[in-house]
Amino acid sequence: MFDIHTHILPQLDDGSGSWKETMDMIRDGIKDGIKGAVCTSHVFKVLNKELEEQYILRFNELKKRVRQENIKFRLWLGSEININAKFDLKFSIATYNDNKKYMLLELPMSDYPHHVDELLFQLSLQGITPILAHPERNTVIMQKPEIVENFIERDVLIQVNSGSITGIFGRRVRKITLDFINKGFVHFVASDCHNYGNRPMLLSKAYKVVQNICGKQRAELLFSINPSRVILGESIDSYMKGGITSNKGWQQYLHSIVKRVKKGG
Ligand SMILES: [Fe+2]
């Protein structure tokens, strides 16, 4: 499993509060079966050179510490950009692993800004595929879940939180999330971890729930394959078009992509 939404870089946002907490979160993730993560600290208001430099510095320090402690865990850099924030795609942290293809966008928790459609259109003109972070937690979408279907029709990809599946945000969020998964509206599950205590880097419990409902291949797709493709900057739907039907073919495919993401990126 690879976690494409985390707040493990310390003291940059409302995520990890210290290097100790960051390392504890990573150790937790490794025990849970997570092989690597993308650091996606918040961009609340503006993404500028100063912020980019700050995030890169902190990220490089994390990589150094992980190496020094001989921890086997892959790390990549990106960010989680609020849909109301000012940003420019020239900044390396605007897209995953600076791939100029995928970016993580967040809606406000209780609002659905009018300029969303225009923004998505502008991004698509620039070849960017937006990944919408945890729409199941937005109160407007909770009232009108069909909004998510409209997003998918416009080639927006959907990420839900592992905690939404396991129920840490309540029964209603859990129900909506499972409904999205059942309808095939979800492309990724990520932890959106914020701390060591109640928002940890854990995915395996949610993986088991998805596996029980939709089978192992679907779970692998949402927790490993699609996240790997985002990190590598590869197309998400090519697997679907690839027509992998046999179990052997699937195993070979899974093995090859996990090997590539561990090596490269
Ligand atoms: Fe987040």
CATH of the domain at 234: 3.20.20.140
What pLDDT was estimated at residue 246? Answer: 52
Domain extent, residue 254, equals: 2-263
Residue of higher predicted confidence among 239 and 157: 157
All residues at 6 or more sequence positions from 81 whose CB lies less than 8 Å from its CB, including other chains: 43, 47, 87, 94, 103, 104, 105, 106
What pLDDT was estimated at residue 258? Answer: 72
**104-142 residue pLDDT tens:** 999 998 888 889 989 988 999 999 999 999 999 999 999
What pLDDT was estimated at residue 1? Answer: 97
In this predicted structure, the answer to whether residue 249 has a pLDDT above a threshold of 70 is no
Distance 225 CA to ligand 1 centre (A): 21
Distance 248 CA to ligand 1 centre (A): 36
Distance 258 CA to ligand 1 centre (A): 24
Distance 250 CA to ligand 1 centre (A): 31
Distance 161 CA to ligand 1 centre (A): 9
How many structural domains are present in the chain? Answer: 1
Confidence of residue 239 (pLDDT cuts 50, 70, 90): very low
Distance 7 CA to ligand 1 centre (A): 7
**188-234 residue pLDDT tens:** 999 999 999 899 999 999 999 999 999 999 999 999 999 999 999 99
Which residues are found with C-beta within 5 Å of the ion, ligand 1? 80, 192
Q: Where are the alpha helices (DSSP H) in 80-233?
A: 116-125, 139-143, 146-153, 162-166, 171-182, 204-214, 216-220, 226-232
How buried is residue 18: exposed, middle or buried, by Cβ count under 10 Å (0-12/13-18/19+)? Answer: exposed
pTM above 0.85, yes or no: yes
What pLDDT was estimated at residue 256? Answer: 75
